[in-house]
Amino acid sequence: MSHHTIEAKDLHFVYPDGTVGLDGVSFHIGHGESVALVGANGAGKSTLLMHLNGCLAATQGAMRIGDYPVTAKNLKAVRRTVGMVFQDPDDQLFMPTVFDDVAFGPLNLGLPEAEVELKVMQALETVGATHLRKRPPYKLSGGEKRSVAIAAVLSMSPDILVMDEPSANLDPRSRRRLIQLLKTFEHTKIIATHDLDLAMELCRRTIVLHRGRVTADGPTDEIFQNETLLADSGLEKPLSMQSCPRCGQSCR
Amino acid sequence: MHMADALISPAVGGTMWAATAGLIAYSSRKVKQELDDRKVPLMGVLGAFIFAAQMINFTIPGTGSSGHLGGGMILAILLGPHAAFLTMASILTVQALFFADGGLLALGCNIFNLGFFPCFVAYPLIFKRLVEGRDGQGRIFAGSLAAAIVGLQLGAFGVVLETLFSGVSELPFGTFVLMMQPIHLAIGIVEGLVTAAVVGFVWKARPELVTAAASPAAGRGSLRTVLVALGIVAVLTGGALSWFASANPDGLEWAMFKTSGSEALARPEKGVHASLEKIQEKTAFMPDYGLKTEGGDAQAETEAHSPWPAVSPGTSLAGLVGGILTLLLAGLIGFGLKRRANHTK
Amino acid sequence: MTPPPGGARRMFKIDQNLFDIGRMDTLATGGTPLHRLDPRAKLITTLAFIVAVVSFDKYTLSALIPFFVFPLVMIAGGGLPFAYLLRKVLVVAPFALFVGAFNPLLDREILFRLGGLGISGGWVSYLSILIRFGLTVTAALTLIALTGFNTVCLGLEKLAVPRPFVIQLLFLYRYIFVLTDEAARLVRARSLRVFEASGLGFKPFVSMVGHLLLRTLDRAQRVHLAMRCRGFEGQMPVLRPTHFGLPEVRHIALWVPLFVLMRVYNLPIKLGLWITGFFA
């Protein structure tokens, strides 16, 4: 069970052009936890996510996913464990049809055809998109694209789900549906988002990043109450707390 | 500069299809060997970019016409010759299928003219020579400009050759060349400037993207490839040419159709079929429209003088009646099927 | 507010075409037996059709007519909207009209007389171009409308077209929609801020295209990451069972010999002679 955990130790990352992406980030996320990763634009959220499955390699420090340190040698195992849902579904849905796309991961894992089909159908069912399976991705709505992108990751049966701005560009109803869907998942989750209301609903714990450093790490509702902290990190209180702070506290 | 179906003969179209198919197979193998899996999405997305970029036009001062980004050279610079050739081929295929730019028969010619010359000739021999190892903004600008112009000149020359080999050439070779090359020099300069400016823009923002492709490692050995490929093409087109040179006026007709076809028509039932066949032999297969549309009227007119044997009205009437009937019949079959399909629905 | 006319027209053209591509893909989801045929069978027959049609000489008219049976049967059998396809053919027709338009002017030799009217070789060859154009374009369109571009590509792969090229076609097709959208937004955003009918200058043009290119390159990188994250290591897997069975063999065996027959024998002339002979 320990492979559902994530551990970052003093991660540093500097981009080739000299921009500092991460400046000593450390945290530990346990099995089944659901953690929101918040921060202003350029705080280092995406850079951090890229370290979770070895898309970027830390210039200093170490990342561990379960039993494996994230190194070139373990990349395959790590990528199987960590399912990454990208911010723009158009980047992720590159195959001709929804079915092909959801099958892409399992086929790369070398599963037999019958099992691939089973996995694909299960994943599509989970996100309620079986009826879309023959469609080309460009004929999907924003919400449908998001669901399919999630299914494409679920079909690989990851233990950890990593999401970059899952509610970006969704209309209110699609967003609500997404939240309901994510609530049913028992995976360890890391959700990078600007949608603090979504973070409040889905994540008990929040990590705040600012300029490549962790400025806060704790229970979501406490952090979102701390206006100075939020302001320092270029954030604002979630809407649901702004109008009625007392209820906000008791919400979930 | 798309070659149109109507401009070329099936033999030239077929020959260029064969040459292009060979180049696609070769480039595919090369791309596979490069083992750079980044190129898989990069090629696809850049191909789509060429489409998208052509939606953006700039106004050429003082002319009222507009220019946009061409394809081959910028792809070659960003992807290397083999991947760029495949990308260009895919773009032209989609254009032929959906936008009716060119047509299917001319697709081989178009891929060759717009893909082979920029990717396998202008890029390695001009851009790389100018830029290799001494990159700098001026070099990159000059290299892109020169390579784009030369690539387009060669492409235009390809059009000339293909049209000539198609047997259209009542217009003398020299006249045609003098007509095509200067026009495409103008177009080439515009395209070259655009290519150079856009490459320069990318180079300023992300120099590694441009210099990586221009590094000696990328597309190594493409000079030899070019020579080999050119040799093959020369042999192939030479073959096509000699067909034309052969004494038999319709020597180009594909054997299968020729033998059985002439037989069928030669049966001198009422004497008219014989003359019909003569027409076919005289005009043998080569559509000669396109060139005249571009060439001077007068010149072409004086040359369209081959005397036609008169055809008796009987045959024309028969053809007309039969044609209308057949069309009706075909329509009826379709209509009947549709009714049945609707019933079973 | 008006963008340069050339640019707008071209953009409209591309927009319209993309919309059409989408419609074609919807048509391809139909469930008729023709839709269900393995793409290889449809590809082979369509290619044979096109080769047969273009191999006629330039003054052929009547012998081309029977070939209409193929697209008509495909359209009817596949339940495709005839009017829509016809409109699509007409939209691209100006191209053919233009290419052939000079023929009647240049080739004035009287080829035959019909009643008192002399028909010149130019008119005959012009009409022949138009018919040929109509036939080949309709055939290609029905192929796509019955099969869908992606499935056509899979068929190509099964017919030994090199895999990297097929993958390239699929990727290109996938991202055309995404990127033309992006370009259209750029063009629109600009045209909203330009209050005179002035064209786009060279410098802003380069910066627009350059930015689009940079964004494209970034996108390619993200797509690649997304692929790597799902186990991609250079090989594209495609799971698509295809069976080349009896219906496919039947399809080819019916059409290809028919094309040969129609290419070899001028059926309308035969029919017409028979009928006119009957009355004479």
Q: Write out C150-161 in H/E/C secondary structure.
A: HHHHHHHHHCCC
Q: How many domains does chain C have?
A: 1
Q: C255 pLDDT exceeds 90?
A: yes
A140 neighbourhood in chain C, CB within 8 Å: none
- C119 within a domain of the structure (yes/no): yes
Mutual angle of helices C163-193 and C5-27, in 10-degree steps: 140
Task: Report the percent of chain C where pLDDT is more than 90.
Answer: 11
**Contact criterion met (CB < 8 Å) for C226 and A92:** yes
Decide: A103 and A138 in contact? Cβ < 8 Å: no
Q: C203 pLDDT exceeds 60?
A: yes
Closest Cα of chain C to B154: distance in Å? 23
Of C153, C177, C231, the CB nearest to A79: C231
Regarding predicted confidence, which is higher, C19 or A36?
A36
Q: Would you state the pLDDT for residue B319?
A: 62
Q: Would you state the pLDDT for residue B304?
A: 36
Q: Would you state the pLDDT for residue B216?
A: 47
Average pLDDT in the A236-247 region? Answer: 69
Q: Say how far residue B122 (Cα) sits from the centre of its chain.
A: 17
List the one residue out of B285, B190, B296, B182 whose CA is nearest residue B240.
B285
List the one residue out of B60, A148, B206 whose CA is nearest residue C214.
B206
Q: Would you state the pLDDT for residue C231?
A: 82
Interface mutation target, options C266, C267, C278, chain B, most CBs of B under 10 Å: C266
List the one residue out of B76, B319, B8 whose CA is nearest residue B218.
B76
Q: A183 pLDDT exceeds 60?
A: yes
Decide: B84 and B123 in contact? Cβ < 8 Å: yes
**Contact criterion met (CB < 8 Å) for C216 and B285:** no
Look up residue C63 and give its two tokens: 């012998």
Integer Cα distance of B57 and B139 in angstroms: 26
- C108 within a domain of the structure (yes/no): yes
Cβ-based burial of B267 (10 A; exposed 0-12, middle 13-18, buried ≥19): exposed
CA-based max dimension of chain B? 77
**Contact criterion met (CB < 8 Å) for B333 and C72:** yes
**Contact criterion met (CB < 8 Å) for A108 and C231:** yes
Burial pattern A218-252, b for ≥16 Cβ within 10 A else e, equals eebbebbeeeebbeebebebbebbeeeeeebeeee
Average pLDDT in the A186-195 region? Answer: 91
C230 neighbourhood in chain A, CB within 8 Å: 79, 104-105, 108, 152-153, 156
Closest Cα of chain A to C66: distance in Å? 36
**Contact criterion met (CB < 8 Å) for A97 and C150:** yes
Average pLDDT in the A72-81 region? Answer: 85
Of C72, C108, C163, the CB nearest to B331: C72
Q: What is the ipTM of this complex?
A: 0.82
- C196 within a domain of the structure (yes/no): no
In chain A, where do the E strands start and end? 6-14, 20-29, 34-38, 60-65, 68-69, 82-85, 160-164, 188-192, 205-210, 213-219
**Contact criterion met (CB < 8 Å) for B307 and C109:** yes
Q: What is the per-residue pLDDT across A199-232, written as a single tens digit (0 to 9) for each?
A: 999 999 999 999 999 999 999 989 988 888 888 8
Residues 16-35 of C with CB under 8 A from B: 17, 20-21, 24, 32
Domains and CATH numbers, chain B: 5-245 (1.10.1760.20)
Chains that touch B (3 or more CB pairs under 8 A): C
Q: pLDDT category, A235, cuts 50, 70, 90?
A: confident
Instruction: Break chain A into its structural domains and give their ranges.
Output: 2-250
**Contact criterion met (CB < 8 Å) for A152 and C230:** yes
Average pLDDT in the A180-204 region? Answer: 91
- C187 within a domain of the structure (yes/no): no
- C216 within a domain of the structure (yes/no): no
Q: A58 pLDDT exceeds 70?
A: yes
Q: Share the mean pLDDT of chain C.
A: 80
Backbone angles phi, psi at C42, to 5 degrees: -70, -35
Residues 253-272 of C with CB under 8 A from B: 260, 263-272
Backbone angles phi, psi at A63, to 5 degrees: -120, 135
Task: Report the percent of chain A where pLDDT is more than 70.
Answer: 95
Look up residue C118 and give its two tokens: 């002399």
CB atoms within 10 A of CB C16: 11
Q: A141 pLDDT exceeds 80?
A: yes
Of A108, A113, A137, the CB nearest to C230: A108
In whole angstroms, how large is the CA radius of gyration of chain B? Answer: 24
Regarding predicted confidence, which is higher, B298 or C211?
C211
Q: Which domain holds residue C142?
A: 29-147+245-279
- Domain A2-250 CATH (choose: 1.10.3720.10, 3.20.20.70, 3.90.660.10, 3.40.50.300): 3.40.50.300
Integer Cα distance of A182 and A179 in angstroms: 5
B304 neighbourhood in chain C, CB within 8 Å: 106-109
Least confident of B85-89, B177-181, C17-21, C29-33: C17-21
Closest chain A residue to C25 measured between Cα atoms?
A: A136
- Three-state DSSP at B174 gives helix
Average pLDDT in the C168-176 region? Answer: 89
- C19 within a domain of the structure (yes/no): no
- C182 within a domain of the structure (yes/no): no
C85 neighbourhood in chain B, CB within 8 Å: none
- C14 within a domain of the structure (yes/no): no
CA angle at B150 for the pair B145 and B153, rounded to the nearest 5°: 130
**Contact criterion met (CB < 8 Å) for B45 and C175:** yes
